[in-house]
Structures are given as structure tokens and as C-alpha cells.
Amino acid sequence: MMTLVVASLVERGVAGVSRSSKRAFDAGADLVEVRLDHIRNIDRNERLIHEARAAAEGPAIATLRSAGEGGRSQSKGKARHALLREIADAGFEYIDIESARDGPMLEQLMSSGRRSRTIASFHFAKPATKERVRVRLKRGLTEADVSKVAMPCENAAQAVVLAELALELAKEPKPFALMGMGIQGQLTRACASGMGSKFVYACLEGHEAAPGQLEIRTQTRLLDKDRVVLGLIGHPVSHSVSKPMQEAALRSAGMSGIYLPLDIPPRSMNKAIVDTLFDIGFDGLNVTVPNKHKAYLICDTRRSSAEASKAVNTLWRRRRKIVGDNTDLIGFGRLLESKKIRVADAETLVVGAGGAARAACRVLSDKGANVTVAARRAKPAEETARMCRGRHKVISSLRAPGESYDLVVNATPIGTAGTADERSNLPVCVLRNARVFVDLVYNPSETLSMRIAKSHGCKVHGGLEMLVRQGEAAFEIWTGISPDVAKMRQAARKAVSR
């Protein structure tokens, strides 16, 4: 099934429909959707319906979205039906009929032998179960030529449910369109073709008709065979700067594609979700807090860095098998090299015992450093230390005098902007005595711990370089191309300083 890009036109007058439809077709749209409910006085002046049809200079869908389903049309009952009949006479290629409101009208329209085909659409007001969406979609398939269901998505796991359903219905003889609303629903737009959706709705720049719609050119390019769809699985993901950074890499490599932040709560993170994302067309995924260990567990094959750290931050699929790597090790190694931090025989302290800490410990021990791991709980500290034959402590014991390290690495979220830990810092006695301090936190670019360490004459480095270099390694894995690191760094820096 070929997916068609439908440009939603939300104009107040007929002249606007004419102007915007030209722009939409120039940008690559296959059809335009004339949102008749947005045209002033349409409920009172039926002539405007015909004028709007003539103004849309190509194949068009007529939509009279009612206020109850997120539109502006106030007409109800007989008045609404009269308007729909008029719309059916106006020569649109498709008429969008609201399944819940216009059911009886649908039969009339389909049996009247008019030229327009029908789209039975249903808009959920809040996230619904797969079964409820299935019932609605199937009902639309019996009612009209195309069945369309839209559902708001609070997280990407809900959008993946829509994708699963689409894959299950792939053999339906009639076409359907299934879409998730909002940023977290965007994966259903980026992968509309992989989901088998007949239509995907897009907008002119700055004229979003529904939350999460992509701009027409972007949406059109996402239907190209060689486009690249990437994403970041985490919870939360709104703070991440990987999107601008990886999209800069795509642009500078001359590739079209998109990188989507996918909020997947830890309770929903499983192999089926990741498989579905690859099934509908994702080329690669990053994984961040708190899903890196779960990502490690669901892999069919793991690279040595993933095994060494028991964490995975990069996923891809080869011959239907999920493969995982932890490019944080490469990222941390490249950070040390680029800042000329020599660690052979150095006394090093890694604070934290999560995925990033394990990556740092592994790199440090491989480079010949003596490693001490400090965490707020003894057990994870001990387990992490065992992986690099290091010593372990609890953070509270670091307050003792005499703690002195050549290198201290913060691998906890302490100091991260927008979190409860933003105004916290590592114990001052550790920062005071360190020669070099590396904070893996990259937002803000200078944390409170970095300021304290600097004020005691310590050399400090933030986590941005590691972020860029782990991203560089992930990009190489997914695309086989070395990205422009300077462009990635510039984009990441700009996003952090926003």
C-alpha cells in the first residue's frame, strides 16, 4: 500500500485555500485536506464549499471537523447532514465523515453514487487500549472506503500499540490510516509507510492542524526508500539534545531522516516494543536512563562493550536479530583522548554505579588506571568495582579527610538541569583534592561540582564531548558513515545553551 501525504489546510477563507494548496503541492503533498470547519461562515453559506473545492488546485479531502472532535464546526443534526450532502456534491475526491456522529449519513453518501469516496474517522479524546482502537478501526472499515483513527499519545509506548495494531491489520483488503497525536505519537507519522497507513497528514510550516504533524517536505522525504529513522528510548527524554545533534549529522552527511525522542516508561520497555519499532522502519535506536540495562537484557547479540558494562545505549537489527552496543565506552575514551587526560597508573574515582559509571570504569581500567567506585549504596558500588577489579566505597564515606585522586568522574545525575539534583554537588573534599574532574552531566555545560572543583585549581571538563563522541560512534554503526563531529558538537552545544 502506497502512503499518500495529505497536507492539512487550516485557512479562514477561500483565497487562503488557493494559496496554501499551491504551496502544499509544490512541497510534495499528494492531496490536500481542506478543513472546511475553519472557513469563516461555512455553516451559513454553502456556496463557500464549492468555492473552496475549486480553490484547492488538486486532489482534495473535505473535512468538516465538529467541535466535539477537536474542530470548529458547530452545526449539528439535520443542519450538519445538509452540509455534508452539499460537500458530497462539490466534487472532492474524499469526504471525511465522523464515524461516531455521521454513521447513518455514511450509508446514504455511499449509496448515492456520488463521486467522492468516504473516510470514516474517529478521534479518541485520550489514550485507549489496543482493543478499543481495533474495534473503532474495524467499524470504519465496514462503513467507508477508508477507516481512519487518531489517538493522543502521552508516551511512545502508546504509539507503539498503534503500530502493533497496524501490523496486525496489514492483510485487511481496505485501506486504513492510524495515527498517534502529539510529539510522542510522531513515530506513527515517521513510519506511516512501514505501518501500512494509506494517508499521513502533514502541515505547511508553522500551520500545524493536529499536534505532532510534521512539515510536508519532512514528511514527504520520510517516505523515500533511503531515509533514516532513528530514535532515543528513555524516560524522560524531553531534556535530551541527541535529536538536534543526530539530525545535524544526518544533514551534514546529505541524508534525509529524523531522530525521535521516545518516552518509554521502564514498565513498558521490552523486546516486543523494540521489535515493533524496527518492524515499522526504525534503522537505529539509542537508549538512555533508565532503560540501558533492560536494553542489554533484550538483545539477541551484544558487542563486547555492552558485555563489559552490562548496559546498552545503541540498538540496531541485523537479520531480524536485535544487536546492542554501549558506545558510552567509545565516547568516554574519546573524551579522555581529546582532553589529553592520561590515566595509566593514576588514582581515579568514579562516583555512581549505573551504566555510565560502568562504562567509565571499564575504560579507565583498560587504560591502566587504579579505580575506586563510590555509590550511595554499597552493593551496586561493589558490583561495579568488581567489573574493573577496583575498590568500592559509599559516597558518605568520601567526606573523610585525605581522599585524594588524580581524576574524579561524576557518573551520577547530580547537577543535571531541571532535576531535583540540579543544585547538588559531589562532596567538596573530593573535588578540592582532585587534579582533574570530569562531569558526565552535559546540561548545564558547567555544573555546581565543576565550579567548586575549578575554584580549587582543578582542571574540569563537562560531559558534552562524551555525548558527541558516543553519538558519533552510534551514527557510524547505524549508517556506516563517519559523521561531521564539528557539526554535531555545534548542534549539541546550541541545544544545551537554550
Q: Which residues bind ligand NAP (CB under 6 A)?
A: 289-290, 292, 328, 331, 352-357, 375-377, 380, 395, 411-414, 416, 421, 440-442, 463, 466-467, 470
**Taking phi first (over 0 means left), then psi (-120 to 50 degrees means alpha), and beta for anything else, what does residue 281 get?**
left
Instruction: Report the C-alpha gap between 273 and 134 in whole angstroms.
Output: 18
Does the N-terminal peptide bond of residue 236 adopt cis geometry, omega within 30 degrees of 0?
yes
Closer Cβ to ligand NAP, 52 or 398, answer by number: 398
Q: What residue is closest to ligand NAP based on CB?
A: 354
Q: How far is the CB of 411 from ligand NAP (least distance, A)?
A: 5
Cell of 11: 485557512
Using an 8 Å Cβ cutoff, are 80 and 71 in contact?
Answer: no
Does 393 participate in catalysis according to the annotation?
A: no
Helices (H), 367-439: 378-387, 428-433
Instruction: Report the C-alpha gap between 383 and 191 in whole angstroms.
Output: 40
What is the per-residue burial (b if ≥16 Cβ within 10 Å, else e) of 272-291? ebbbbbbbbbbbbbbbbbeb
Closer Cβ to ligand NAP, 227 or 302, answer by number: 302
Spatial neighbors of 72 by CB under 8 A, at least 6 apart, are: 37, 38, 65
Q: How far is the CB of 488 from ligand NAP (least distance, A)?
A: 12
Closer Cβ to ligand NAP, 95 or 315, answer by number: 315
Spatial neighbors of 148 by CB under 8 A, at least 6 apart, are: 96, 119, 120, 121, 122, 140, 176, 177, 178, 179, 199
Closer Cβ to ligand NAP, 336 or 375, answer by number: 375
Closer Cβ to ligand NAP, 140 or 354, answer by number: 354
Q: How far is the CB of 143 from ligand NAP (least distance, A)?
A: 48
Give the count of alpha carbons within 13 A of 403, CB side only: 25
Pairing of strands 314-318, 284-287: antiparallel
**Cβ–Cβ contacts within 10 Å for residue 368, how many?**
11
Closer Cβ to ligand NAP, 64 or 409, answer by number: 409
Amino acid at 62: A
Q: What is the DSSP letter of 413?
A: -
Closer Cβ to ligand NAP, 198 or 489, answer by number: 489
Strand order in the sheet with 257-263: 257-263, 228-234, 284-287, 314-318, 321-325, 301-302
Using an 8 Å Cβ cutoff, are 180 and 187 in contact?
Answer: yes
Q: 68-77 long-range contacts, Cβ below 8 Å, gap at least 24? A: 68/101, 69/98, 69/100, 69/101, 69/121, 69/123, 70/123, 70/210, 71/35, 71/37, 71/38, 72/37, 72/38, 73/36, 73/37, 73/42, 73/43, 74/43, 75/43
Q: How far is the CB of 8 from ligand NAP (least distance, A)?
A: 37
Closer Cβ to ligand NAP, 68 or 413, answer by number: 413
Closer Cβ to ligand NAP, 152 or 462, answer by number: 462
DSSP SS3 for 461: strand
DSSP SS3 for 431: helix
Candidate list 148, 198, 292, 310, residue with the active-site label = 292
Using an 8 Å Cβ cutoff, are 92 and 55 in contact?
Answer: no
Cell of 243: 535529536
Give the count of alpha carbons within 13 A of 63, CB side only: 30
Provide the annotated active-site residues.
292
